[in-house]
Amino acid sequence: MADHNVFHEGEVAIHERLGLAESMREKGGSMISGDTSLALQVFYHLQTFVFVGSIGRDGFPWASILCGQPGFMRSMNAKTLQIDARLPEGDPINDNIAVHSPLGTLAMEFDNRLRRGRINGVVEAREGSRVRLAVSQAYGNCSKYIQQRRAEASCSASPALLSRRAVLSAGQMERIARADTFFLSSYHLDDRSKPSHGVDVSHRGGAAGFVAVDDEAEIVFPDYRGNMAFNSLGNILKTPRAGLLFMDFTSGGTLQLTGEATLDWESPRLNDFPGASCLVRIKVREVVELADAFPYRWSYVKASPSNPKPELEPG
């Protein structure tokens, strides 16, 4: 019988709301493991970047990107992941990673859109740029909503803090409104002894413009069904906070924000987002913009065939 504890109470509540409770109870144990499979270990070892979810001292989550040469992430064994990457200057993750702090990671590929996986856990050691993670959850994710991009160039990144604000600037609002991809960090930590309680970082994609910017302090995005685990929605239900990372694939810049999050299941605006289970509203608390945060550049190839809305040309 599958291990029912792979999902926490927030995730179970979402499953029940959507009529998925029985099927997810049965498949949960086969989806999510406490050990990193050999295939996932190899996949992580080959990557040159990873998305990371962390929690600030004020309890608000952040999503970040860390980069390195193949091998900068290495599984010491099925229970331990080591990451050796310089933390970008100005990124809140610098203050968030400490021994005993939870950390979520997501590795994926933009070029072939085939592979995506997560390893979540708790930091058991940090020495400078080297972090050792005790694994609590490891699993593969579906490849829905990944826009295909081609790697064009690599350079030596020199991260620089451009701004740290309480609300979005006009330029930042425009940038978000044209995005087709972002990364979402969320968490639930009521009982740290349970593997299902911790930080997740997930990919979100859709047609360019799928994130609505209502004003300088609030954005709204649809939640499209993926692997049906609903990790992020379950986290937000129990801990209504979220962190978002938007990447500029052509310049290497990043835009990060954190704030209060709410789930809206009844809004008439759902009609504007066909295929959405609900809307997620983010009330912005803090915004960080970095220049040259990562050393890779990607050109846009084509939209994911899973995108519910017709593609708009990305900016």
Residue 307: inside a domain, yes or no? no
Task: Report the interhelical angle of 21-31 vs 9-17 (nearest 10°).
Answer: 140
Residue 183: inside a domain, yes or no? yes
Domains identified in the chain, total number? 1
Model confidence over 65-116: pLDDT tens digits? 999 999 999 999 999 999 999 889 899 999 999 999 999 999 999 988 777 8
Residue 315: inside a domain, yes or no? no
Residue 47: inside a domain, yes or no? yes
Residue 123: inside a domain, yes or no? yes
226: confidence class by pLDDT, cuts 50, 70, 90: confident
Residue 92: inside a domain, yes or no? yes
Strands (E), the chain: 49-55, 61-67, 73-77, 80-84, 102-108, 116-127, 130-140, 148-154, 160-165, 181-188, 198-205, 212-215, 218-224, 241-247, 254-264, 276-291, 296-302
Residue 180: inside a domain, yes or no? yes
122: confidence class by pLDDT, cuts 50, 70, 90: very high
Residue 312: inside a domain, yes or no? no
Residue 308's pLDDT is: 84
Alpha-helical regions (H) of the chain: 9-17, 21-31, 38-46, 93-96, 170-177, 231-238
**Minimum mean pLDDT among 24-28, 42-46, 93-97: which range?**
24-28
CATH code, domain with 244:
2.30.110.10
For 148, the domain range is 4-302
Residue 30's pLDDT is: 66
